[in-house]
Structure formats: C-alpha cells, structure tokens
Amino acid sequence: MEKIGICAFSQTSVESDKWYQRFQEMAFEVVKDLLEQTSLDFSDSGIEMTISVSDDVFDARTISDNAMTDVLGAHYRCEEKVAQEGLQAIYYACSVINSGIADVVMVVGHCKESQAKSRNMVTHMAFDPFYARPVGLDFQIAAALQAQTFLDRANIGEDELAQIVVRARERGSKNVLYPNLTPVSVEEVIASKYLAKPIRELHAYPVSDGAVGFILASEKKAKEICKDPVWVTGVGCSMDTYFPGNGDLINLGSLKKAVSRTLDRANTSLDSIDIYEFSDQYAYQLPLYLTNLGFCNLEDVSSFIKNGGLDEKNINLSGGMLIGAPLILGGLFRVVEAIKQLKGISENQIQDPKTAIVQSSMGPAAQFNSAVVLSRDN
C-alpha cells in the first residue's frame, strides 16, 4: 500500500452533553478548522471527496449524512458515509487515494451519545431480535461478560482496573479539549457503582459528544498542502463471528488479524512501533488487548500494570478512550492523539516518537477490530 498523508487534523471538545449545538454546528467547527489549516477549497483542485462518519441509529436520522451535506461541502459534489467504526474511514480513504479516484479526501465524523436516552439502548439494537436481544444483551453487558472472564483468567481485580482508570484520567485531564474530565483516586473508582458487574461506572468510557476530522492526500499532494504530513503507512481490519461466547471470549482473533494485516501493509512489526493508542471503552479492555498482542502474558498482567508497564511501553499516553469519545469515533480521536505525539505537541509528550499504531473496535466483546499505522519523516 502506498502511504498517504494526513495534512490536517481537528476535533471539537469532547463533552458529556453538547446540548447547545446540533450536529451541523459541531461538525462545522471541524470543517472550518481543516479549511483554515490547509487553505483548500471544495473543488477538483482542492478537496475532491468527503468521507463522513456517523450512525443513523445514534443520530435518530435516516441517512444521517443527509443533514451534513451542507457543512461537508457536498453540494453537487461527492460525499460518502462510512457507517462503521470511524477508523474505517481512513481505511477507505487509503483505497480511494491509492486507486487514483481522488487525491485529496476530507474525513469528518460526528456523534452525540447524549442524544438518545441511553447509548445502551442503541447498542442493544445490534443484536438479532430472536435470541441475543430478548436475553437483554447490549455492548456494555457483552463487555461485562468478557470482563469477568478476563479478570478470572488473568487473576486481576479492582486494584489493577482502578490503576488503569486513575492513570487514564490523570493524563486526559491535561487536555483542555476534555473539559468534563477530572482526575480520580483509586478509592473513588472502587466505590463507583456497578453498571454491569464487574464493570463499574468509572471503568467505562464517559458518555461523549464530539466531532473529529482530517484531510488526507496522496504523497505528492500531501507535500504540496502541508510542510510536515503524518503518513498513514498501514491499515487493516477484521471481523469475528457474531455470537459472543462462540469460542474463547478473551482470545481476540479479529484483533490479532487486524493488527497483523496493518503491520504487513506498513511493512513493519509491532515492537518497531514507538507509541500505541488503543480504544479501550472499558478499563479491562486495555490489558485484554495487550495480552492478545503479546505485550505480556495472562499471568503477568497484574505486575505489568502495577510496575508501570503502560508508561514504559508508551501505551495509551493520552489516556486512551477511557478519557472519552463517542462510540463510533473512538479510533479517530486516538488518531488525533497519536498525531500530536508524532508532531511533538501532546500534553503527555514523550521524546521523539516516529511511529504509532492506533486500534479501535466495534461490536459486542470487540467483534470487529480496526488498526492504522502512522509515521513521520525524520
């Protein structure tokens, strides 16, 4: 795969309730910023195509991109909506640019988890109407089943989970674009009420509203548009079987495949990567992903976390998705954080990273996984 360049990135603040804006205004903040950064316009010599990310069920709007065409510059132009985990918009943008169909693509995603009475009512609708739905499953409950299995097998508990949350929030609180986030203590985490045992309220990513976007271009165009593009060198994804529990809940085949496909396309290996951003919707997911990808064994999870393994290996330096992101935009917000690290402007900056990998998941118990490798020139 030929690398493509990210010439600009932008996000709105991520808040628990953006009651004062509708989607159009929220997304327009991002679009306006991207246009200002790049001085591009919507034309055959500027942004040729827009890929939007949104979900009809979350938006309660059939053809949710229908509402967005105005602000996305899509009047009499091409716009297509990726209705899947947002990282897939980058996967798709890679194929569009690599194919020659368009050289410059804008990606903008929006979502308000606060609009529906409960995001769990939305994810409840992902299940088949005959068996899994009447049983009462939603993504949170499926996660709880997976969490309990993992906690038992890795022999970890409240302490380790609380440490992950405390670390995440401490890092995320430094980011002014997450105004509702405050640091918490281990005691507060352990005392927070259960959502679905063993998942406690503070173990879960906060209900979030926000929009995020990027301008992506072919290598040649990217160098014309901006001084220092961040390169997307690999993309990949994989889908697992549907019924959670049809197999080992903690053996994430789709995660391993998604990451290995991404690394193949980027022609690199996992330990060559400098920083890792995982979309951990619930605290247990972070160590779960790590054991699946070989960062540590099941029996070593506790010591890995307690001895600062996350900091040492540069994992979720931003705090990960536990700091907040709407469900379908988890991956794209992690991409923003990864780009900031590569450009040296992160609130949690480490010394000189050159490559990053971003992962995100969708579906019950991480049924679908997606990943992206980013790198910068020296």
- Between CA 261 and CA 293 the distance in angstroms is 13
Which residues have CB under 8 Å from 347's CB, separation 6+?
171, 174, 175, 318, 340
Q: Which is nearer to another protein, 68 or 108 (CB)?
A: 68
Please count the residues of the chain: 378
Over the window 112 to 151, marking each residue x when it contacts another protein by CB under 8 A and - when it does not, the resulting string is x-xxxx---xxxxxxxxxx---------------------
Contact between 75 and another protein by CB under 8 A: the answer reads yes
Residue 316 beta carbon to another protein: minimum distance, rounded to whole angstroms: 24
CB closer to another protein, 43 vs 349: 43
Pairing of strands 78-82, 49-53: parallel
User: What values do phi and psi take at 60, rounded to 5?
Assistant: 55, 45
Residue 186 vs 239, nearer CB to another protein: 239
Contact 370, 258 (CB under 8 A): yes
Q: Which of residues 100-119 bind another protein (CB under 8 A)?
A: 100-103, 112, 114-117
The residue range among 289-297, 311-319, 333-341, 356-364 that interacts with another protein, by the rule CB under 8 A, is 356-364
Least separation in angstroms between residue 58's CB and another protein is 8
Q: What's the closest the beta carbon of residue 289 comes to another protein, in angstroms?
A: 19
Q: Which of 39, 76, 271, 378 binds another protein (CB under 8 A)?
A: 76
CB nearer to another protein: pick between 130 and 378: 130
Closer CB to another protein, 25 or 158, in the complex: 25
Answer for which of 5, 73, 198, 206 binds another protein (CB under 8 A) is 73
> How many angstroms from the chain centroid is the CA of residue 5?
19
CB nearer to another protein: give 295 or 368: 368
Instruction: Return d(Cα 90, Cα 153) in angstroms, integer.
Output: 35
Q: How far is CA 358 from the centre of its chain?
A: 7
Considering the complex, what minimum distance in angstroms separates the CB of residue 63 from another protein?
4
- Tell the smallest beta-carbon distance from residue 186 to another protein (Å): 34
Per-residue mark of binding to another protein, 231-270 (x: CB under 8 A): -----xxxxxxxx---------xx--x---x---x-----
**Measured from the CB atom, is 107 or 342 closer to another protein?**
107
284 to 313, contacts with another protein by CB under 8 A? none
The answer to whether the CB of 291 falls within 8 A of the CB of 305 is no
- Give the number of other CB atoms < 10 A from CB of residue 131: 10
Query: Rounded to whole angstroms, what are the CA distances from 271 to 16, 138, 248, 276?
Result: 35, 35, 26, 10
Element at 230 (helix H, strand E): strand 230-239
Question: 164 and 287 in contact (C-beta within 8 Å)?
Answer: yes
Count of residues that bind another protein according to CB under 8 A: 87
Among 9, 276, 295, 368, binds another protein (CB under 8 A): 368
Compute the least distance from the CB of residue 135 to another protein, in Å: 13
Is residue 145 within a helix (H) or strand (E), and if so which, with residue range?
helix 139-154
**Footprint of another protein on residues 166-225 (CB under 8 A)?**
218
Where b means 16+ CB within 10 Å and e means fewer, 327-363 reads bbbbbbbbbbbbbbbbeeebbbeeeebebbbbbbbbb
Q: Between residue 13 and residue 72, which ones bind another protein under the rule CB under 8 A?
A: 18-22, 24-25, 28, 32, 41-42, 44, 48, 55-57, 60-63, 65-71
Distance of closest approach, residue 276 Cβ to another protein, in angstroms: 21
Rounded CA separation 15/210 (Å): 7
Question: Minimum CB separation from another protein for residue 68, in Å?
Answer: 8
Q: Give the C-alpha separation, 90 to 247, whole Å.
A: 30
Nearer to another protein, 122 or 226 (CB): 122
Pick 84 or 341: Cβ nearer another protein: 84
**CB nearer to another protein: pick between 62 and 351:** 62
Torsion-angle region of residue 327: left (phi > 0), alpha (psi -120 to 50) or beta? alpha
